[in-house]
């Protein structure tokens, strides 16, 4: 197992399309790979490491698995998140932003970034297990593709061999027919020559008989 999988996992969060997405991964690079991102979302400012206890707990329970929730919501992250039913109405007619309360709310205390070591180890082990499962699935699919490719190559080779054999048989039969045709032409020509001579003699005999 690669060394990077042995590191402690961290929770990362981003927003893509209609969903907020979160994943527990050993690095930002691993998080980007899990999200299938083609660019560095962290450098673009649309992804970050999060220490939100709820997000950390949800992602550490399923390390390496991308969890989602409707974008902009504060619901729980799950593997299959449905869009809110009023999304279309919200897009067509955006709601007015509520006016900020005059009373300044007390700043919520920042959650601790520390993760229980035992929980982190379990999450890392689960992440490695998930990676092994994915790798086994990839090997299985590659083996199936290789088997199918070998089967197809054998079928093509057999079809080509059958075609070549049939072509050779056709050519041999055609050659035999041509030879027989040449012999028949020769016999026909000999018959015409014989008949010409015989007809000449018979016509001459008939002429003498009539004289």
Residue 210 lies in a domain: no
Query: Whole-angstrom Cα distance, residue 140 to residue 46?
Result: 35
Whole-number pLDDT of residue 4: 42
Residue 62 lies in a domain: yes
Residue 36 lies in a domain: yes
Contact between 155 and 91 under an 8 Å Cβ cutoff? The reply is no
Query: Whole-angstrom Cα distance, residue 176 to residue 185?
Result: 14
Q: What does the pLDDT profile of the chain (211 residues) look like in tens digits?
A: 344 444 689 999 999 888 899 999 999 999 999 999 889 999 999 999 999 999 999 999 999 999 999 888 888 898 887 765 555 455 555 555 555 544 444 555 554 445 567 777 778 788 888 888 989 999 999 999 999 999 999 899 999 899 988 999 899 998 889 899 999 998 998 998 999 998 898 998 988 898 8
Residue 138 lies in a domain: yes
- Helix, strand or coil for residue 69? strand
Whole-number pLDDT of residue 67: 94
State the total domains in the chain. Answer: 2
- Which domain, by its residues, includes 19? 10-70
Considering the domain architecture, whether residues 127 and 184 belong to the same structural domain is answered as: yes
Considering the domain architecture, whether residues 63 and 123 belong to the same structural domain is answered as: no
Contact between 94 and 104 under an 8 Å Cβ cutoff? The reply is no
Pairing state of beta strands 67-70 and 10-16? unpaired
Residue 53 lies in a domain: yes
Considering the domain architecture, whether residues 121 and 60 belong to the same structural domain is answered as: no
Residue 65 lies in a domain: yes
């Amino acid at each position: 197992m690669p060394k990077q999988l042995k590191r402690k996992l961290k929770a990362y969060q981003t927003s893509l399309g209609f969903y907020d997405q979160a994943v527990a991964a050993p690095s930002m690079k691993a998080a980007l790979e899990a999200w299938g991102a083609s660019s560095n979302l962290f450098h673009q400012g649309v992804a970050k490491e999060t220490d939100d206890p709820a997000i950390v707990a949800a992602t550490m329970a399923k390390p390496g698995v991308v969890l989602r929730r409707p974008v902009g919501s504060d619901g729980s992250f799950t593997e299959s998140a449905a869009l809110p039913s009023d999304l279309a109405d919200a897009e067509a007619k955006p709601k007015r932003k509520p006016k900020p309360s005059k009373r300044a709310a007390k700043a919520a205390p920042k959650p601790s970034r520390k993760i229980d070591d035992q929980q982190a180890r379990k999450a890392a082990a689960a992440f490695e297990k998930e990676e092994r499962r994915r790798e086994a699935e990839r090997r299985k699919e590659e083996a199936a593709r290789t088997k199918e490719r070998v089967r197809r190559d054998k079928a093509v080779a057999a079809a080509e061999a059958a075609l070549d054999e049939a072509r050779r048989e056709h050519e041999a039969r055609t050659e035999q027919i041509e030879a027989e045709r040449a012999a028949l032409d020769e016999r026909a020509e000999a018959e015409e020559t014989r008949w010409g001579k015989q007809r000449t003699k018979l016509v001459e005999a008939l002429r003498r008989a009539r004289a």
